[in-house]
Amino acid sequence: MKKMPSPMYKLMMDPTKVVDVRAFLEEDIGSGDITAKIIPETTYATAEIITREDMVLCGQPWVDEVFKTLDANIDINWLASEGASVSKDTVLCTLHGAARALLTGERTALNLLQTLSATATVSRQYAEILAGIDCKVLDTRKTIPGLRDAQKYAVACGGCYNHRIGLYDGILIKENHIKAAGSIAKAVQIARAQTNAQVEVEVESMQELLDALIAKPDRIMLDNFSLSDLKAAVQLNACTVELEASGNIGLVNLKAVAQTGVDYISIGALTKNIKAIDLSMRITLVH
């Protein structure tokens, strides 16, 4: 029987706690949108945001906040739900309000939506492969700077799970930490004495796995283990601690890794290798 999941992963599924678009708007607008000023303040418009490829929709709260920050009177009507799979050429939402605000917010809103939807889309692909298998796919800290919380929300929206959010909410003892501390045993001992946070140790060989099992962390990460070594590690562990596989794992071999019996598989590609979804915003009516 597998161990109950530890608090090492958290689901960032409440966007009200992570949505903040001020820095993104400041980056784009700076001292003011000098192009939008060619449009009279009294001009109003209706627009649509359209996807040009299949995707999992993610990022609605960020789009809403962009336009709300610019003009609280802009009305947005979403035609697809957050987390829904949508087909290419689908109209995702319609917007209505002051044309200046719509044009000023367009790129920031689309940048966020295309990035978070890409993250959710890739995460959905991984989640679907492991449907029915008792193994969870985790993200990593390999996120786009400034979008840590947002991308982890998108991962959860796509159906995968979050590893620790940052350096503050979970201990992951890696090769350099072990060398600096002197040994796996010493690193774990010091970590236990300093905090109540969950402790994970990364190992790169069966000998290091044995050392880690003796040290008794909460989880052991098996880095770049072959399938045969993963199976051997699961048998040796005998459900003593949680096991996480990592390194050179993708869509092609994901299921085979999960079937070795590990509890988790961490995938940096969920957040770092994404290709932005092709989206566009088109004004359909001006008055």
Flag whether 202 is marked binding. Answer: yes
Number of other CB atoms surrounding residue 226 within 10 Å? 11
Flag whether 82 is marked binding. Answer: no
Flag whether 260 is marked binding. Answer: no
Flag whether 246 is marked binding. Answer: yes
Is 37 in the active site?
no
Is 136 in the active site?
no
Flag whether 247 is marked binding. Answer: yes
Flag whether 269 is marked binding. Answer: yes
Flag whether 107 is marked binding. Answer: yes
DSSP state, 34? T
The β-bridge partners of 240 are none
Among the listed residues 113, 109, 119, the one whose alpha carbon sits nearest the alpha carbon of residue 153:
119
**One of 149, 200, 223, 244 is an active-site residue; which one?**
223
Q: How far apart are CA 85 and CA 158, in angstroms?
A: 9
**One of 106, 139, 200, 202 is an active-site residue; which one?**
202
Check if the beta carbon of residue 218 is closer than 8 Å to that of residue 238.
no
As a whole number of Å, the CA-based R_g of the chain is 23
The single-letter code of the amino acid at 218 is: D
Is 142 in the active site?
yes
Flag whether 33 is marked binding. Answer: no
Q: How far apart are CA 50 and CA 56, in angstroms?
A: 13
**One of 68, 174, 216, 231 is an active-site residue; which one?**
174
127: region left, alpha or beta (phi > 0 left; psi from -120 to 50 alpha): alpha
Flag whether 219 is marked binding. Answer: no
**One of 3, 10, 107, 192 is an active-site residue; which one?**
107
Flag whether 268 is marked binding. Answer: yes
Flag whether 248 is marked binding. Answer: yes
Q: How far apart are CA 117 and CA 155, in angstroms?
A: 9
**One of 3, 68, 142, 192 is an active-site residue; which one?**
142
Flag whether 164 is marked binding. Answer: yes
With 0-12 CB in 10 A as exposed, 13-18 as middle and 19+ as buried, what is 199?
buried
Annotated binding site for substrate: 107, 140-142, 164, 174, 202, 223, 246-248, 267-269
Q: Which residues are catalytic?
A: 107, 142, 174, 202, 223
Annotated binding site: 107, 140-142, 164, 174, 202, 223, 246-248, 267-269
